[in-house]
Amino acid sequence: EPEVTQTPSHQVTQMGQEVILRCVPISNHLYFYWYRQILGQKVEFLVSFYNNEISEKSEIFDDQFSVERPDGSNFTLKIRSTKLEDSAMYFCASRETSGRAQETQYFGPGTRLLVL
């Protein structure tokens, strides 16, 4: 069964450093998403991406965040200057669109980011 993959599974970084989280969505999917989950809290939407541009973003997704689809397979989330509060599990998700609202969104296994 096709699945969303993410690398790395864990990343430890120093405050102020840049990190890039990588995702490979399911190959025929057209919508891509990033979510995060701070330990003990709910899963929060960050950004959605379609047709090589951001379609929607949350208040969390400020100027420190950016997304890119550099080639036909990868989808990346960059945090330019990490803060302590960026420590969280980051999930990538993708969705094949057939126009049905009830389309399933598939999540990757996540990258656990720890900012020290």
Partner 1 sequence: RKEVEQDPGPFNVPEGATVAFNCTYSNSASQSFFWYRQDCRKEPKLLMSVYSSGNEDGRFTAQLNRASQYISLLIRDSKLSDSATYLCGMGDSWGKLQFGAGTQVVVTP
| Whole-number Å distance between alpha carbons of 11 and 112 | 6
Q: Residues interacting with partner 1, by CB under 8 A?
A: 31, 33, 35, 41-45, 48, 50, 55-56, 89, 91, 93, 95, 97, 101-110, 112
Omega before 8 cis (within 30°)? Answer: yes
Q: How far is the CB of 25 from partner 1 (least distance, A)?
A: 13
**Token pair for 68:** 């890119």
User: Is the Cβ of residue 44 or residue 66 nearer to partner 1 in the bound state?
Assistant: 44
3-state SS class at 84 = helix
Q: How far is the CB of 113 from partner 1 (least distance, A)?
A: 13
Query: And the tokens for 38?
Result: 């701070």
| Minimum CB distance to partner 1, residue 101 (Å) | 4
